[in-house]
Structure formats: C-alpha cells, structure tokens
Amino acid sequence: MYSHTLNPFGGLAASVVTSNSVFLGDAAQMTWSLTTSSATASRWTFQGNNGDGLTAALAEADWKDLTPVAAQGFYSVDSGGGLSGLPRWGRWWHTPSASSFTILTSYLVRR
C-alpha cells in the first residue's frame, strides 16, 4: 500500500461549497482533517457515490450523505465500515460561511 494526499478544494474559488470528486475505488482507508478560522465550524458533510464516474458522469441524485461533521478535527473511514466501506467516489460539502477553512485528505491505496 502507499499513501496519497490531496486538497479536494484545491484550485476552486473560496465561494464554492462542494469539493472536487475524489476517486476512492482503490483505497483501503481514508482520513481527513478539517481546520477553520471560526470557533463554530459551518456544517460539513462527506458524501459518497458508487457510480461509474470514469465513462459516465456522476448523477447528482446518487450522492449520499455519509458523515456529517460539525467541528474541526481528524476523521477516518476504512473499507470495513459504513455502507459496505468506502464509496467509489467521495466529495465534501459545507454550508456557506464567512470562515476560511483547510481540508486535507489522505488515503491508503491497495496495490
């Protein structure tokens, strides 16, 4: 296994509330950390989608809320829990907020 780290909001405008989609189909475990400039973090949700996404677009209606996040912290999901483990695709969504934030994601890839 090897680790891959990324910022799912990288390259997006500060006003964007939904991150880029991240392919997790080959991941065994995923962690992410959230830090905000406000003591009261806006509502965050990790969403999953098991659609193809490579040869066909991911349908908006197929995104499911998996993990609501109300505070800064460190979170982890592995392939043994949740809805039969990690979804094929993941993204983060948050309510509009004036606070700035940083979200970093790291996942272990199966070889």
pLDDT tens-place string over residues 48-77 = 999 999 988 999 999 998 877 777 788 877
What does the pLDDT look like over 74-90, one tens digit per residue? 887 766 444 457 889 99
Q: How many domains does the chain have?
A: 1
Sign of CA dihedral 83, 102, 53, 26: negative
CATH number, position 52: 2.60.120
For residue 74, give its domain range.
2-109
Per-residue burial over 26-40, b = 16 or more CB atoms within 10 Å of its CB, e = otherwise: ebbbbbbebebeeee
HSE value, Cβ hemisphere, 13 Å, CA-based, for 48: 16
At residue 62, the pLDDT reads: 93
Is the pLDDT at 6 greater than 80, yes or no? yes
Confidence of residue 39 (pLDDT cuts 50, 70, 90): low
pLDDT digits (tens, 9 = 90+) for 95-107: 877 567 778 888 8
Query: What is the pLDDT confidence band of residue 5, given thresholds at 50, 70 and 90?
Result: confident
What pLDDT does residue 35 have? 81
